[in-house]
Amino acid sequence: MQSTKEKAERFAQSASDMGGKGADQAKESASNMLGAVKDTVQNVTSGAADMASKTAGQVRDTAKEWVGNAEDVAKNAARNVREAASFAADRVEDWGGEFAGLIRRNPIPAAFIAMGIGYLAAMACRRDSA
């Protein structure tokens, strides 16, 4: 019976060795897989950070370009408004000079026209208050 017992012990030892080897292989495989997952996560994280950095740079460049364009539009608008105001002031000055010359050349008709305008204004005010 000793031989059967020895066989059983050898079989148990052999099974134990195989189990230990299997456990070591499983442990090593798990460690390798964990390392691969860790590397993949680091690569994805690094790629995402790079992409975010590039996107932020592009947004910053686009914003600077838009601000520059807005400044150009504002400067052009201000220049156009100044030119229009200058043109209008010149026209009013010219018209005022012509009107004053017309009154100097024709003082009596100008006085009658002024009296007529005054009368119409008085009548309009009187109707509003009644």
- Quick: pLDDT tens for 120-130: 999 988 876 65
Q: Could you tell me the pLDDT band of residue 119, with boundaries at 50, 70 and 90?
A: very high
Q: Which residue range(s) make up the domain with 120?
A: 2-129
Rounded Cα distance, 53 and 47, in Å: 10
Rounded Cα distance, 15 and 83, in Å: 100
The overall average pLDDT reported for the chain is 81
Between residues 97 and 9, which one has the greater pLDDT?
97
Alpha carbons within 13 angstroms on the beta-carbon side of residue 69 total 6
Domains of the chain: total: 1
Q: Could you tell me the pLDDT band of residue 93, with boundaries at 50, 70 and 90?
A: confident
User: pTM of the prediction?
Assistant: 0.41
The full DSSP string for 13-70 is HHHHHHHHHHHHHHHHHHHHHHHHHHHHHHHHHHHHHHHHHHHHHHHHHHHHHHHHHH
Rounded Cα distance, 91 and 97, in Å: 10
- Supply the angle between the helices 107-129 and 2-105 in degrees, to the nearest 10: 130
- Quick: pLDDT tens for 28-72: 777 777 777 787 878 878 777 788 888 888 888 888 888 888 888
